[in-house]
Amino acid sequence: MNYDVIISGGGLLGLITAIGLSNDSVSVAVIEKNNLPHVIDDNRAFAISQGSKKILEKLGIWQFVESEAEPIFDICILDGNSPITVHYNHKMVGAEPMGYIINNVIIWNAINNNFLSKLNIYFPRSYKTIACDSGCVEVTLDNNQQSISSLLICAEGKNSKLPELFSMPVMKFDYRQSSIVFNVEHELHHQNLAVEWFFPGGPLAILPMKGGYASSIVWTERSEISKMLMNLPEEEFIIELKKRFGSYFGEIKLEGERKSYPLSFAFAKRLHKSRVLLIGDAAHSIHPVAGQGLNLGIRDVESVIRQITAARASGVDIGSSYLLKKISRDRYFDNFTMALATDGLDRIFSNRIFCTKALRNFGLIVVENSDFLKKYLIRHAMGLR
Ligand SMILES: Cc1cc2nc3c(=O)[nH]c(=O)nc-3n(C[C@H](O)[C@H](O)[C@H](O)COP(=O)(O)OP(=O)(O)OC[C@H]3O[C@@H](n4cnc5c(N)ncnc54)[C@H](O)[C@@H]3O)c2cc1C
């Protein structure tokens, strides 16, 4: 079969790219190694920035999740037991919320029920060989089926082997931390406030969920502590959690399962080679400290769709190194600064050295008292440039 674009990886970003390109009459095939629709059992919720919402709206996806998206009006940053806090209020930059919390299941249901049947998807399949020449990419699947396209987009997530296969250098390291993700029901209303609470082992994020009396928690700790916490019975886990939470929400109750995600960093030094382009976590897997990984990937997707559509309209080869360089240039600064900022935040706040502690307290005071800095940081977190 011949396609304009083949996407390897049918996770959220691979499928959103396929939906967007198909909307613009670009012929697309997706290769996914697992069965689809994915069975979602991870209890996760995503923080979706205002900028991502606008992109998903344009792609015709947002309307299917909107009614289940809980707005974030304020964000509060806390540093352990320090009384110094930074409070961001959405009204500083406009009337719209700073972002939304959406359950993973809601996003997947929207895609499964409204788009999956319209896409050309090969599953459960992976590539056996990929051959690129100056005119096309030839992909042979593990069942020996062959497809040809002008461009191969790699959306295989952080463990993709494709960069290695194409000798694309990727900077990688292990954070030696894991995030435990779970939901809690609580006595007091969350007031649509998202909290990032920094502790020496890592941040604890409290994300407001639909209804007002439930929150999604992302509790990051050093790997060995996370392992221990995961093995605790529910009652003891709640006791440990309350040591961090205090009486913040009144009485709290665990809702559903806990799931643990080991954290690692990966950053591709170049996003393209031959006719292959990396997007999403295959290009940049960042620390979840600010809930920005998917948002960054959604901005990759926007750039890819915009530039491929424009190139096609003007007769430019969509797998040409000219176009792939253009997309890479468009994405590099945003990807690099977000990877650096999230990594830096985790390092600065996990540091117990007195001077660093004093410096970060000073930093928090400066931010809390500077409307200019606050507005800049809010706009950045909202994905608005
Ligand atoms: C604890 C935690 C909390 C997070 N919270 C947030 C948040 O609140 N907001 C936010 O913006 N981001 C968040 N993130 C980041 C976000 O989860 C990721 O950035 C995002 O899911 C990456 O999507 P992806 O489609 O690139 O990769 P993936 O979701 O990993 O999808 C990759 C897909 O490719 C398939 N695949 C892999 N290899 C092959 C192959 N060889 N052939 C075919 N298919 C293949 C896989 O089966 C999978 O379906 C969080 C991350 C973590 C760990």
Q: Which residue has the tokens 């959690």?
A: 241
Report the pLDDT value the prediction gives residue 40, as an integer from 0 to 100.
Answer: 80
266 C-alpha to ligand 1 centroid (Å): 13
Which residue from 32, 180, 296 has its CB within 8 A of the most atoms of ligand 1, so it is best to mutate? Answer: 32
Q: Which amino acid is at 207?
A: L
Report the pLDDT value the prediction gives residue 385, as an integer from 0 to 100.
Answer: 64
Q: Which atom of ligand 1 is nearest to the CA of 52?
A: 11
Task: Give me the domain span that covers residue 33.
Answer: 5-71+100-172+265-350
Which residue from 15, 33, 126, 217 has its CB within 8 A of the most atoms of ligand 1, so it is best to mutate? Answer: 33
262 C-alpha to ligand 1 centroid (Å): 13
> What are 22-64's pLDDT values in tens digits?
999 999 999 999 998 887 878 899 999 999 999 999 999 999 9
The residue whose CA is least distant from atom 53 of ligand 1 is 261
Please check whether residue 86 lies inside any domain of the structure.
no
Q: Is the dihedral of CA 54, 56, 60, 64 positive or negative?
A: negative
Report the pLDDT value the prediction gives residue 88, as an integer from 0 to 100.
Answer: 87
Please check whether residue 317 lies inside any domain of the structure.
yes
Please check whether residue 113 lies inside any domain of the structure.
yes
Please check whether residue 273 lies inside any domain of the structure.
yes
Report the alpha-carbon angle 88-93-95, nearest 5.
100
- Count of domains in the chain? 1
Please check whether residue 375 lies inside any domain of the structure.
no
Q: Cα torsion for 246, 251, 252, 253, to the nearest 10°?
A: 150
Cα distances from 286 to residues 8, 40, 299, 355, 378, in angstroms, run 20, 22, 14, 26, 19
Please check whether residue 151 lies inside any domain of the structure.
yes
201 C-alpha to ligand 1 centroid (Å): 24
Q: Which amino acid is at 312?
A: R
Please check whether residue 200 lies inside any domain of the structure.
no
Please check whether residue 341 lies inside any domain of the structure.
yes
Cα separation, 363 vs 322, whole angstroms: 42
Report the pLDDT value the prediction gives residue 364, as an integer from 0 to 100.
Answer: 77
Residue 340: how many CB atoms within 10 A of its CB? 12
Give the CATH number of the domain where residue 327 resides.
Answer: 3.50.50.60
355 C-alpha to ligand 1 centroid (Å): 36
The CB of 280 under 6 Å from ligand 1? The reply is yes
> Which stretches of the chain drop beneath a pLDDT of 50?
none
The CB of 319 under 6 Å from ligand 1? The reply is no
Q: What is the DSSP letter of 289?
A: G
Entry pTM:
0.95
Report the pLDDT value the prediction gives residue 369, as an integer from 0 to 100.
Answer: 76
> What are 256-305's pLDDT values in tens digits?
999 999 999 999 999 999 999 999 999 999 999 989 999 999 999 999 99
